A and B are shown apart, each in its own frame.
Chain A
Amino acid sequence: MEQIRGADGFDEFAAARWSALLHVARLLTGGDRQRAEDLVQEALVKLWFAWPKVAEQAPEAYVRTVLVRLAARSARRRWWGERPVEQLPDRADPGDMSSAVAERSRLEAALALLSPKQRAAVVLRYYEDLPEAQVAQALGCPVGTARSHASRGVARLRQLLSDAVRPVG
């Protein structure tokens, strides 16, 4: 297997941050695991080419920004929509649905109903705990716009999640 050279420490960074990046990507895509993996890989490929410049500074911030922008771009593509398949994918049995899995599914389903910008703003603000200025920088928009995206996203999530837990009948 041919080794990729020219980026010392890149593999270590990718191995250390893979899980966290995958979780962010999964939140950004509204729970789409395959798409999240594709996004993380594409972001890391872009990071590899920028590694000599970024390695000493803030590779985490760089790859996060790339991830957010890729997620926003991929959400605009039509072909990310549902595609017919011959066999249904494996689903967890009702017995396997632990409370953590149920919560994650509920959260991801609610996030999937937000607009890509709102979703990115909410994830960066409430999962990554980034200040508004950095959220705006990652989204590539003014701080006021980023704040607006985050507040509207939270308001929508509040409504969706409260509807989900509302007792039926």
Chain B
Amino acid sequence: MDDFERDLSRLMRDTRQHTPYEAEHRQRLHAGIRARRRARMLWKAGGSAVAVAGISVGLALLPGLLTRAQPPADHRPQPSTSPTVQVDTTPTTDAPDPSPTPTRPESTAPATTGGVTPSGTTSAPSDPTPSATPSTSRSTSAPPTPPPSPTPTTVPPSVLESEEPSASASIE
């Protein structure tokens, strides 16, 4: 610290004036504190009101969002059954091995249903088509039908019903 800095320090201290803390200052300070406290309370009240409004809007919208989310959940199980169909049909396709296109297994499917018709009446409505298919179905399904008919026939009908649209479309 050089001479100038010492002088500067002394000058700053020497020029200090004593100013008493008067009642006027005190009142003004307290008024400032009250105003500030009021402003803070208003801000807090406004903030909490906005928070409550936001939460209530959120709660009001939440059920609507949940109900919208449900329909896709209902649709999903349907496609999930179709893969099981493929698993079930693979054994059947193994027998008529040369199935390059899905049309052939479909042609065999009616044959199995045709064999089941006595037990299941649901296959009767699909009978109009068998008139065209019986010749092929009988020729191909004659050897394998006896063993698989008890177990797989019960599962495929419902499954084949789901695939029917594509099968009937291809046939038609």
Contact = CB atoms under 8 A, between A and B. Distances in A.
Interface in B9-26: 9, 11-21, 25-26
A158 B15 CA distance: 18
B18 A4 contact: no
Contacts of B44: none
A63 B147 CA distance: 96
Contacts of B9: 126-127, 129
Interface stretch (A39-47, A71-79, A141-149): A39-47
Contacts of A157: 8
Nearest to B8: A126
Contacts of B33: 4, 45, 48-49
Interface string B149-165: 00000000000000000
B120 interface: no
B12 A45 contact: no
A37 to B, nearest CB: 8
Contacts of A103: 11, 14-15
Interface string A83-126: 00000000000000000100110011000000000000011001
A14 interface: yes
Interface residues of A, number: 35
Contact of B36 (A37, A45, A100, A129): A45
Contacts of A16: 21
Given A19-B21, A37-B25, 7 more contacts: A2-B34, A19-B16, A19-B20, A23-B17, A103-B15, A104-B17, A154-B8
Give the 3 A-B CB pairs with smallest separation, nearest first. Answer: A104-B15, A18-B21, A127-B12
16 contacts: A3-B30, A15-B21, A15-B26, A19-B18, A19-B21, A22-B19, A23-B16, A23-B17, A42-B32, A45-B29, A100-B14, A103-B14, A104-B17, A107-B11, A107-B15, A127-B12
Interface of A: 1-4, 11, 14-16, 18-20, 22-23, 27, 37, 41-42, 44-45, 48-49, 100, 103-104, 107-108, 122-123, 126-127, 129, 154, 157-158, 161
